[in-house]
Amino acid sequence: MQNFEYVTARSVDGAIQLATLESRFLAGGIDLLGEMKEYITSPKRIIDIKPVPELDLIDTSTRIWKLGANVTIAEIAKNERILAALPGLAEAASEVGSPQIRNVATLGGNLAQHSRCWYYRHRDLRCLKRGGSTCYAREGENKYHSLFSGNPCISPVVSNLAVILAALDARVNVRRDEKEITLAIGELFSGAWNNPLAHNSLLPGDLIVRVEIPTQKNRSTYLQVSEKGDFDWALVSCAAAGRNTGDQWADVSVFLGAVAPIPFRVESPLLEGGDLSREAIESIAESVASEATPLAHNGYKVPIARALVRRALTRIFS
């Protein structure tokens, strides 16, 4: 990696003041350091935000829970209140990497990580996402790539937590210059749908401060299928969440991961009506294939996506 300046921030204000167009924030550092070692990115300044006290707090004292950006994935997976009230979030966290990685990786880092496409990560290639003219995955090896995309790049989102947080209607607080803005998960990733150069909608110098999660959805789950049982990226993931009061369902949402540059929402009038009968679940699952555009090597994702939607909805309904 190239030489860089290393500085430590003691507050959010301090981190923002230290940020430049050629700087990057460091928390767990798993994604950033990998990119730097491969010369994919070469920031002039690294800003260590691990000592910032307000970024590692978990506040469950109100109906909207607040998780700081530096809360580790392991803390989310093991937190007793999260396990009881938001099991889907704990399930998603438990699927991230290995125990060693979960002890270091952070909530903010999981949301902000960059593409894992091997063409993007190859130091000798300049693919479309790195400013080139070609998405090599389209005509090359696309086994792990998107079924849905709004632009020529088919690199998928790989954040487990983004998928479940989208289903839970979470919002992300981002410090942008002197202001703090709030983005829905869809807004956080919308830039990647339209812009092949984008991994998300964050601008240079933006800092994820915390995630706010409403707790009115009292049923949630997260499922994924991977090639290996442990320490592997999802081939397809699925999160479902909803609010159940007796025999009534409301605010049911289903999102797929690893099939699009964004957490991909499964749309259906049956979900809007809260109909989770066996026939409705089957219809919702089958609807996934209607919009998919599989390529030479990733068509297998379509039946997996259907199966995960079916299982996720059946699980929260039971």
By the 8 A CB rule, do 191 and 157 touch?
no
CB atoms near residue 67 (< 10 Å): 26
**All domains of the chain in start order, with CATH:** 1-318 (3.30.465.10)
Indicate whether 163 pLDDT > 80: yes
Q: Which amino acid is at 302?
A: V
Q: Beta 179-184 vs 171-176: how paired, if at all?
A: antiparallel
Which whole number is the average pLDDT over 129-147? 96
> For residue range 207-256, what is the model confidence (pLDDT) as tens digits?
999 999 999 999 999 999 999 877 889 999 999 999 988 778 889 999 99
**Model confidence, pTM:** 0.96
Residue 123's pLDDT band (cuts 50, 70, 90): confident
- Of the candidate ranges 130-134, 253-257, 273-277, 312-316, the one whose mean pLDDT is the lowest: 273-277
Distance, CA of 114 to CA of 248 (rounded, Å): 39
